[in-house]
Amino acid sequence: MADLGFTPGDRIVITGAASGIGRCAAVRAAELGLAVEAWDLNLEGAESVAAEINDAGGRALARGVDVGDYPAIEQAMQAAHAEGRVRYLVNNAGPPSYLDMSFDEGVRLVLGSVRTATDAWLAGEPGASSEPGAVGAAMCATASVAGTMVGTGSNWYSAAKAGITGYVRHLAAYRTAEARYNAVAPGMVGTPRLAGFTASDLGQDILDRIPLGRVAEPDEIAWAVLFSLSPLASYLNGQVLVVDGGWSITQ
């Protein structure tokens, strides 16, 4: 197993941890020695990933949290900090772009939730460090190439994902006394929400333009997220890591 320099037992909250990228991030974080809080709308799914981690000798607990419910986020974060300082936050939960939502509703859910969770997390004083290679508080948000390069059909999805990158830059410029902040922008990732899409004409057309010729494994995104949080990335702040197999450079 890789050693990214995390301190064993440090605590991490991962939203949307029941499936896909969030689930992989939870499992890998636990393998790296972190104590995981797996948050998801789908409590049963979060409990299943927490059980998988605990059965493998790691440490995890599950919470049913809908990130569209701001008071629920604040309450859950207070409870999480009460169990011990939460050093890391992964703002990953979000609805698929094909959901039918109004612009305001979508931006509130995708972007407003990131702001609410981050504010609640920072209120617990996660413990920053600006020293080279030091363990220090860090947040990573899952953005998307839909917010950096590709125009998608859903107006709220592209706008909110782009908003996440702007919000991360704001935090990185003005709130570094409290933590480091980065985003990861995946291209196409083989998670349940993409099921069937790659077989469609549009999916095939996109695949043809990805130099690596395939979609990402969710683990390949999770590792980028965990690297950005780790002491190995102690000078990485305010960046958007595009992890898309080179799709963006072919546009």
Ligand X SMILES: NC(=O)c1ccc[n+]([C@@H]2O[C@H](COP(=O)([O-])OP(=O)(O)OC[C@H]3O[C@@H](n4cnc5c(N)ncnc54)[C@H](O)[C@@H]3O)[C@@H](O)[C@H]2O)c1
Q: Summarize as ranges the residues that interact with ligand X (CB under 6 A).
A: 15-16, 18-22, 40-42, 45, 65-68, 92-95, 142, 144, 186, 188-189, 191-194, 218
The smaller minimum CB distance to ligand X, of residues 57 and 192, is found at 192
Q: Phi and psi (nearest 5°) for 185?
A: -115, 100
- 86 closest CA partner among 69, 64, 61: 61
Q: Which of 157, 167, 174, 181 is an active site residue?
A: 157
The smaller minimum CB distance to ligand X, of residues 37 and 40, is found at 40
The smaller minimum CB distance to ligand X, of residues 154 and 234, is found at 154
**Closest CB 1 distance from ligand X, rounded Å:** 22
Q: How many Å apart are CA 67 and CA 62, to the nearest integer?
A: 14
Q: What is the largest CA-CA distance in the chain?
A: 50
**Closest CB 41 distance from ligand X, rounded Å:** 4
Cα 74 to Cα 78, 119, 125: the distances in Å are: 6, 9, 14
The residue whose Cβ lies closest to ligand X is: 20
CB count within 10 Å of CB 48 equals 17
**Closest CB 187 distance from ligand X, rounded Å:** 7
- 181 closest CA partner among 229, 133, 146: 229
157 is catalytic: yes
**Closest CB 197 distance from ligand X, rounded Å:** 8
Contact 147, 248 (CB under 8 A): no
Contact 159, 103 (CB under 8 A): yes
The smaller minimum CB distance to ligand X, of residues 50 and 67, is found at 67
Q: Which residues are catalytic?
A: 157
